[in-house]
Amino acid sequence: MLHKNLIGKSVLIVEDDPKIRNLVKIYLTREGYEVIEATNGLEAKEKIEEMDPCILILDLMLPGISGEEICRWVREEYKSMMPIIMLTAKVSEKDRIKGFKLGADDYVVKPFSPGELMVRIEAVLRRTASRCGKLSFIGFTIKPAKGEALINGEQLELTHFEFKLLHIFMQHPDQILSREQILSFIYENNEKAVSDRTIDVHIKNLREKIKDKTPKDYIQTVRGMGYKFVAL
């Protein structure tokens, strides 16, 4: 079972073999990841620039632009530290060393176990957690570093407090959070700038802004306990 704090992480699979790509996609989707696909190097570049994935699963032997070239481009030209797992039939020590020198975070040799790949993805994401703060699932996308929140690609205009609330809810999907817990996530050292009840007003305003974009009530009140962001 995927750890809750990894739900919503977006994965770009760059693989020209449809059987391998679909197999990996099935396992990733089952674990709650948002899956993006590319079949060649050029498409991979476009998806990276457009979608800003949290981790890249990269086949090295691609038509046109090679996986090595994509890895080099990500690190040197695109200037991104997104985690990269190389997925390849190249098995020599020389190839592995080259992959790591190019900036790969892990190296998985074909044929591979899909289950092991999932474990490696999770391990790499945990190890590189500071590189990707973006969360994206059920139509919601939040980018803390850029201060952006979107629903189905449409910008949500939120106050600073509302943005923090949405971020907290998306970090804890399908979990009941009390007002005290929510405030403890927002304020450090137990310093509270608002009362427990004032938070209800902020959540009401956030709900209304979300409902302007989608009819479903994603933030639900759990009587006597707090609030829950329904992600399923």
Q: Quick: pLDDT tens for 113-134.
A: 999 999 999 988 888 766 666 7
Three-state DSSP class for residue 131 = helix
121 and 16 assigned to the same domain: yes
Burial (CB count <10 Å: 0-12, 13-18, 19+), residue 41: buried
**Which of 5-9, 105-109, 150-154, 171-175 bottoms out in mean pLDDT, i.e. has the lowest?**
5-9
pLDDT exceeds cutoff 90 at 190: no
104 and 10 assigned to the same domain: yes
pLDDT exceeds cutoff 50 at 189: no
pLDDT value at position 4? 44
The residue out of 68, 100, 131 marking a domain boundary is 131
Q: Global pTM?
A: 0.62
- Residue 75 is part of which domain span? 4-131
Q: How far apart are CA 56 and CA 66, in angstroms?
A: 14
Q: Name every residue whose Cβ is closer than 8 Å to that of residue 198 and which is 6 or more positions away in sequence.
A: none
